[in-house]
Amino acid sequence: MEKLLVERSGPLRGTVEADGAKNAALPIMAACLLTEEESLLDGVPRVTDVEIMLNILRVLGVECFWDGDTLVIRPGSYTGWTAPYDLAGRMRASVCVLGPLLAKQGRARVPLPGGCVIGPRPIDLHLKGLQALGAEIAMDHGDIVAKAERLCGNTVHLAGQFGSSVLATANVMMVATLAEGTTVIEHAACEPEVMDVANCLIAMGAKITGQGTSVMRIEGVGRLRGTRHRIIPDRIEAGTLLMAVAMLGGDVLVRGARLDHLHAVVDKLVEARVSIEPQDGGMRVRSTRDLKGVEVTTLPFPGFPTDLQAPMTALMSISHGVSLMTEKIYPERFMHVPELKRMGAQISREGPSAIVKGVERLSGAPVNASDLRASAALVLAGLVADNRTEVFGVEHLDRGYAHLEHKLVSLGARLTRERSS
Ligand code: EPZ
């Protein structure tokens, strides 16, 4: 087990680059199962979730390896159709092999995702979509077992209680690429990561239109080919870096940060008195730490992303006045709040909202990261807190941020990693 030792730091100065987006890379790696030909993926981040997906692909019989920074995926005539529990059970995103396996092998067995620290995460929309295209679905020993003799296009409405679903849209879209006829996905997720999956599939020969809008149309084709694709930059990592500079002060160029992916975030940071402007293939962020409280509601894209809710709540905890954070995607995603409170943050919960009264100073403490984005929030809080903060649960950070601590250190932040007993 490891922990991060975080010291009060800032201001941050220099240039840093966002890695490729984990949440685009994972379904795109799964999409490579739709062809027997080799695909080359650039910009895949070296994070634990990617390693888990690679191991799932290998168990399925797919040859995968890194050639420098390029991920090479060679499905060949792989025959596997079961994602094993010991791997898939560690990562909910493994559900995105369900669609490609069903489409290519005619059957798929994937563990039903279990409980999750960020709240309930059902998969009914995935199953509804696959059934609409002709899959027969059963539950067996904790696994989803999907089978289909023939997959046919259909109109699928993918709206859930909390809006559209990113991975259900990806799953249904991937099946539809090889289904007979035309599929229309209504209430499709518009997230940039879904667009990236669609663009990669199009490069593989799929016929898709409407990506990035709420209605997508997919005409099935007989086969897909391999491709070379560069993953889009990680808007969540980029947003986390923007927030780090906002909180610690300074002047930093975040390369890869795209305004079209981060409008809602940039709007809120500017309202909080942070200066942000597009520059040199990224965004230049400047802050004097004189932050003003704001009201934020997380929503599907182009709204404020739930994956930046935790870091933004950390930022609110040192902003002047009262801020309000309302979580509309995962109303229970507030595990970081008690930890921030241990550092002196003044936060009260009311249902899906956190009311944050800004304080002058946070104070360092040992804290436990419960999930990926909570871990980033606690690192940022530690960097503005007096005394040392010890962040435990660093394995969560490693699931989705490639080298976040090294990037922060390169800008002048003071944090180190240590083995914890
Ligand atoms: C993706 O998860 C991301 N994961 C999540 O990032 C992200 O928080 C989420 O989208 C929302 O943006 C990956 O891309 C690997 P959803 P996904 O289906 O697709 C409900 C991170 O930290 N829902 O879009 O699984 C669901 O409960 C992770 O990087 C249903 O009701 O999320 C939620 O309220 C965490 N039925 C809402 O929809 C379903 O069948 C959106 O979830 C599926 C989802």
Number of domains into which the chain is organized: 2
Pick from 96, 165, 195 the residue to mutate for probing ligand 1's pocket: most ligand atoms within 8 Å of its CB.
Answer: 165
Q: Examine the fold and report which residue of 230, 263, 289 is the final residue of a domain before the chain moves on.
A: 230
Rounded distance from Cα 7 to ligand 1 centre (Å) = 33
Q: 98 CB under 6 A from ligand 1?
A: no
Residue type at 92 in one-letter notation: R
Position in ligand 1 atom list of the atom nearest CA 160 = 31
Is residue 197 lining ligand 1, measured as CB closer than 6 Å?
A: no
125 C-beta closer than 6 A to ligand 1: yes
User: 110 and 252: one domain?
Assistant: no
Nearest CA-CA partner of 261 in 218, 314, 303: 303
Whole-number pLDDT of residue 115: 64
Same domain, yes or no: 186 and 291 = no
CB of 372 shorter than 6 A to ligand 1: yes
Same domain? For 146 and 104 the reply is yes
Token couple for 40: 């080359």
- 280: buried, middle or exposed (CB in 10 Å: 19+, 13-18, 0-12)? exposed
Is 260 strand, coil or helix?
Answer: helix
**212 shares its domain with 251:** no
Mutate to test the pocket of ligand 1, among 28, 48, 121 (most ligand atoms within 8 A of CB): 121
Per-residue pLDDT at 120: 76
**3 state SS of 54:** helix
Is 164 found in the same domain as 53?
yes
Q: Does residue 313 share a domain with residue 202?
A: no
Contacts 24+ apart (CB under 8 A), 342-346: 342/367, 343/367, 343/381, 343/382, 343/385, 343/389, 344/385, 345/314, 345/317, 345/381, 346/317
Decide which of 170, 204, 230 is a domain's last residue.
230
Show the low-confidence residues of the chain (pLDDT under 70): 114-116, 421
My answer on whether 239 and 197 are in the same domain is no
Beta partners for 415?
A: 6
**Is the Cβ atom of 93 under 6 angstroms away from ligand 1?**
yes
Residue 70 and residue 41 in one domain: yes
Active-site residue among 32, 64, 116, 190?
Answer: 116
Same domain, 114 and 133: yes
Q: What is the pLDDT of residue 121?
A: 82
What is the domain extent for residue 110?
A: 22-230
- Nearest-CA residue for ligand 1 atom 8 is 307
126 lines ligand 1 (CB under 6 A): yes
Q: What is the pTM of this model?
A: 0.98
Question: In terms of Cα–Cα distance, which of 73, 82, 79, 36 is closest to 54?
Answer: 73
- Distance of CA 116 from the midpoint of ligand 1 (Å): 11
The enclosing H or E element of 270 equals: helix 259-271
Q: Is the dihedral of CA 68, 70, 71, 72 positive or negative?
A: negative
300: left (phi over 0), alpha (psi -120 to 50) or beta: beta
Could you give the 3-state DSSP secondary structure of residue 43? coil
Expressed in angstroms and rounded, the spacing between residue 167 Cα and the centre of ligand 1 is: 7
Predicted confidence at residue 117, as pLDDT, reads: 80
Cβ atoms of 305 and 265 closer than 8 Å: yes
Rounded to the nearest whole angstrom, what is the distance from the C-alpha of residue 92 to the centroid of ligand 1? Answer: 9
259 in the same domain as 385: yes
116 is catalytic: yes
Q: Is the CB of 329 under 6 A from ligand 1?
A: yes
DSSP codes of every residue in 117-128: TTS----HHHHH
Residues 105 and 126 in one domain: yes
Place of tokens 């019989």: 61
User: CB 288: neighbour CB atoms within 10 A?
Assistant: 12
Q: Is there a contact between 163 and 300 (Cβ–Cβ < 8 Å)?
A: yes
Q: DSSP string spanning 139-195? A: EETTEEEEE-S--B--EEE--BTTB--HHHHHHHHHHHHHSBSEEEEET----HHHH
Beta bridge partners of 153: none
**pLDDT of the residue at 302:** 97
CA of 125 to the centre of ligand 1 (A): 11
Q: Which residue has the tokens 């993953």?
A: 231
Asked if residue 328 and residue 202 are part of one domain, the reply reads no
Domain harbouring 264, CATH code? 3.65.10.10
Residues 6+ apart with CB under 8 A from 364: 6, 7, 8, 343, 382, 385, 386, 387, 388, 389, 390
Residue at which a domain ends, from 173, 196, 230:
230
Distance, in Å, from the CA atom of 12 to the CA atom of 244, rounded to the nearest integer, reads 8
Q: How far is the CA of 115 from the centre of ligand 1 (A)?
A: 13
The one-letter amino acid code at 329 reads: I
